[in-house]
A and B are shown apart, each in its own frame.
Chain A
Amino acid sequence: MTTTPALAARRALTTLASAALLLWAVATIVFFLQHLVPGDPAQTILGGASANPPEETLEAVRAQYGFDQPLLVQYGNFLAGLVRGDLGESYTMKQPVTAIVGEQILPTLQLTAASLLIAWALAIGLTLLTAGRRGRLARLGASLEVVLAALPHFWLGVVLLVVVAVVLQWLPVVDDGPAGLILPALTLGIPLGGFLAQVTRDEFETALQKPFVLSALSRGASPAAVRWRQVLRHAALPGIALSGWGLGSLISGAVVVEVIFSRQGIGQILVAAVTAQDLPLVIGVTFVVAAVYVLANILSDLATVLVDPRLRHTIGHA
């Protein structure tokens, strides 16, 4: 049975529809969370609890932001805005949230992409070198992965910053160019690499026991070639399936890393927004991140199918 275009289109539609439903649910939750906030949002907009604006000003702000309308109308407006790509206006920066996020998301995506590359390079390197080998090497590899995966970003980042940038002075402490990307990307990528390597190692060792390995070896293929060409392909599958999730964890890790390295990005913006209780901005950033995350999961599913042709007939029916 081959995949017909019609079938493929239907699968794509189902996937997109369920993603859209999910995002609607996310939007609904964040909207109602926003209205659980104790206190008056108009007060927050006018400078927080310490400011003492006159009642008319408060009324004007309420009317301007639509707080005086019934909740369901506000909800409707919020959803309608989302569809148009309008996430409201930031309380503190007095700018459209979409503009702020649009400006800040690129550095964060660069950082996460670089980190994902580092994580994969580390995972594949560790697996190829040490998985399925006997003796010290395998044990060293396995322990190293556990340790790397356990390193919290806030600690690894600080150590890298102090050792590489302050003590050795190999790299600038703060830099907006490519050099400034190295340490943050390492901080984010190394723990994820340790985690991915644990998964690929497990699969690698399972796959090594399979008959196709023996068969390839008996045809005269070198062990290194078998590891690289055949076994790795099996081992990479669960790792690829996890990459979508990994990207999500990278984005939330980016919050910490951007703060450590004073890097521009939505992480910095999010922390500032949370601290200032600037809810439209918090919600806008969260929503965009959730959307990116859902998209990344769809993409990693697609990537799994590309690497494993066997799945072409099953995925979408699961």
Chain B
Amino acid sequence: MTTLAPPAPVTAPEAAPTPRPARRRRDLAGRIGLLAASAVVAVVLLAALVPDLLAPQDPLEISLSESFAPPSAEHLFGTDQSGRDVFSRVIHGARQSLVIGIGATALGLLGALVLGLLGGLGGRLADGAVTRVIEVLYAFPGILLALILIAVYGNSALTQMVAVGLATMPGYARMVRSQVLAVRDSAYVEAARALGHSSPRILLRTLLPNAFRPLTVLITLGVGQAIVWAAALGFLGMGVQPPTAEWGAMLNAGRTYIQQAWWMDFFPGITIVLFTLSLTVLGRHLQRATDAGALR
């Protein structure tokens, strides 16, 4: 089927890998970038684990006299309509946003694993069915699948997570399937079979680890994507409800006041941008390091 060319790994008909020229200076720039990215990810993780350590103020404390204060030394990111400290709320929001992003990715992967293994190992009929299912899921672009799910099950953090997970699933499923297909016919699986290993053992000890390794990089990138999608849903008012500190919900609250208090949207937004960008940089680095580029 050429009509539904899947998004990511498309190569031109005769694209052969060519050795890239060594770029020493780029190495240095790359190393600085990697360091910065690691720092951003570390800070966000720290904020998710122990927000009280970093946040100067209570994220829920209302102080109406201080509402809509622009960024200052006291309120680094300004305050919102109820006078709550946006900086503290961004820090406290890290946990919720990370949980949703990681949870969604885990759900998407789990579904993808079931589909991918079924397609890769289940014989022609099962593979045909799985390929069709993936194709149909692909016909819903982007977050549309997530929106349907929210329309059906209503607004909640859980629906938001499941919805984003479902929306990411087809992409992962296609990759798992092609990985399983590639690994299934590899020499080492044949060797394991020749050694008389049982099928479950081959599946768990040989096939899965080998099929999964190249996917680890994509998972790093995927968590970033899931956070962005979850935040987009939150921005639209679907997901965690205020006053809980969560990045998407904060964006949604700021939307109403965008012309008078730009900082309410700007800072949660740039946090998401920096964090996902850092995940991308780390993911790319991992990709080069583990040579998972062969997956393309």
Interface of A toward B, CB cutoff 8 Å: 15, 18-19, 22-23, 25-26, 29-30, 33-34, 36-38, 139, 143, 146-147, 150-155, 158-159, 161-162, 166, 173, 199, 203, 205-206, 209, 234, 237-238, 241-242, 244-245, 248-249, 251-253, 255-256, 259-260, 270-271, 273-275, 277-279, 282-283, 286, 289-290, 293-294, 297-298, 300-301, 308, 310-311, 315-316, 318
Cα distance A275–B280 when bound, in Å? 32
Q: List 26 A-B contacts (CB under 8 A).
A: A22-B139, A25-B136, A37-B152, A147-B277, A151-B273, A152-B231, A152-B276, A155-B251, A155-B272, A155-B273, A158-B254, A158-B266, A203-B15, A238-B11, A248-B141, A252-B141, A256-B235, A270-B147, A271-B236, A282-B148, A289-B141, A290-B140, A293-B140, A298-B3, A301-B2, A316-B2
Contact A294 B136 (CB under 8 A): no
Contact B152 A279 (CB under 8 A): yes
Q: In the complex, which residues of chain A have a beta carbon less than 8 angstroms from the beta carbon of B280?
A: 146, 150
Contact A162 B258 (CB under 8 A): yes
Interface of B toward A, CB cutoff 8 Å: 1-7, 10-13, 15-18, 20, 26, 29, 33, 132, 135-136, 139-144, 147-155, 224, 228, 231-232, 235-238, 251, 254-255, 258-259, 262, 265-266, 269-270, 272-273, 276-277, 280-281
Q: Which A-chain residue is minimally distant from B143 (CB atoms)?
A: A252
Cα distance A274–B238 when bound, in Å? 9
Cα distance A34–B153 when bound, in Å? 10
Q: In the complex, which residues of chain B have a beta carbon less than 8 angstroms from the beta carbon of A25?
A: 132, 136, 139
Cα distance A163–B132 when bound, in Å? 46
B250 → chain A closest CB, angstroms: 11
Among A34, A153, A252, A290, chain B packs the most CB atoms within 10 A around the CB of A252
Using known A-B contacts A26-B136, A271-B236, determine if residue A155 contacts B18 with beta carbons closer than 8 Å: no
B184 → chain A closest CB, angstroms: 22
Contact A242 B7 (CB under 8 A): yes
Q: Which B-chain residue is minimally distant from A236 (CB atoms)?
A: B12
Interface of A is mostly: helix
Contact A206 B15 (CB under 8 A): yes
Using known A-B contacts A206-B16, A245-B7, A274-B150, determine if residue A154 contacts B144 with beta carbons closer than 8 Å: no
Q: In the complex, which residues of chain A have a beta carbon less than 8 angstroms from the beta carbon of B276?
A: 150, 152
Q: Which A-chain residue is minimally distant from B296 (CB atoms)?
A: A202
Contact A290 B139 (CB under 8 A): yes
Q: In the complex, which residues of chain A have a beta carbon less than 8 angstroms from the beta carbon of B228?
A: 152
Using known A-B contacts A33-B152, A275-B238, A277-B154, determine if residue A301 contacts B3 with beta carbons closer than 8 Å: yes
Among A248, A283, A318, chain B packs the most CB atoms within 10 A around the CB of A248
Cα distance A146–B141 when bound, in Å? 22
Q: In the complex, which residues of chain B have a beta carbon less than 8 angstroms from the beta carbon of A162?
A: 258-259, 262, 266
